[in-house]
Amino acid sequence: MEERNERGETLKEFLARYDETQYRRPSNTVDMILLTVLKGKLKVLLVKRKDHPFIHDWAMPGGFVNFDEDLDAAMKRELEEETNLFDSTYFRQLYTFGNADRDPRTRVITTVYLSMTPAENIRMTSAGDDAMDTGWFTLQKITTTTDGYERKSVLILDEEEKDIHLRYEIYDTAHDNYVQTKSKLLLESSNAKLAADHIKAINMAIDVVCNRAASTGIMFNLLPKECTLREIQEVYEAIVNHPVDTGNFRRDIKKMLVATGNTTIVNGRKVATYSFNPLLPFVKETL
Q: What is the pLDDT of residue 280?
A: 60
Q: What span, in angstroms and rounded, lies between the C-alpha atoms of 149 and 164?
A: 33
Mark out the alpha helices in the chain (DSSP H runs): 11-17, 71-83, 198-212, 229-240, 246-253
Say what the pLDDT of residue 284 is: 46
Dihedral pair phi/psi, residue 110, rounded to 5°: -115, 140
Q: Please report, rounded to a whole number, the percentage of residues in the chain having pLDDT higher than 90.
A: 77
φ, ψ dihedrals at 277, nearest 5°: -120, 100
Measured CA to CA, the distance from residue 86 to residue 34 in angstroms comes to: 12
Determine the Cα–Cα distance for residues 175 and 149; give it in Å rounded to an integer: 8
Contacts of 261 (CB under 8 A, 6+ apart): none
Closest CA to 92 of 104, 76, 106: 76
Q: 56 to each of 3, 52, 145, how far by Cα in Å?
A: 54, 8, 32
Residue 279 has pLDDT above 60, yes or no: yes
User: Where does the pLDDT of residue 208 fall: very low under 50, low under 70, confident under 90, or very high at 90 and above?
Assistant: very high
Sign of CA dihedral 54, 201, 33, 194: positive
Q: How far apart are CA 62 and CA 71, in angstroms?
A: 12
Mention every residue, 6+ apart, whose C-beta is less than 8 A from residue 186.
Answer: 154, 167, 168, 169
Dist CA 231 CA 283 (whole Å): 18
Give the three-state DSSP class for 37. Answer: strand
CA atoms within 13 A on the CB side of 150: 6
Q: Is the pLDDT of residue 124 over 90?
A: no
User: How many Cα atoms are found within 13 Å in the side-chain-facing hemisphere of 275?
Assistant: 9
The model carries a pTM of 0.91
Q: How long is the chain?
A: 287
H or E element at residue 133? strand 131-146
How does pLDDT run across 12-65, given as a tens digit for each residue?
999 999 998 999 899 999 999 999 999 999 999 999 999 999 999 999 999 999
- State the Cα–Cα distance between residues 202 and 207, nearest whole angstrom: 9
Cα R_g (the chain), whole angstroms: 22
CB 86 within 8 A of CB 79: yes
Sign of CA dihedral 83, 88, 90, 92: positive
pLDDT at 87: 61
How far is Cα 76 from Cα 69, in angstroms, rounded to an integer?
11
pLDDT of 238 > 60? The answer is yes
> With 70 as the cut, is the pLDDT of residue 111 above it?
yes
Which domains does the chain show, CATH number per domain?
27-213 (3.90.79.10), 223-282 (1.10.10.10)
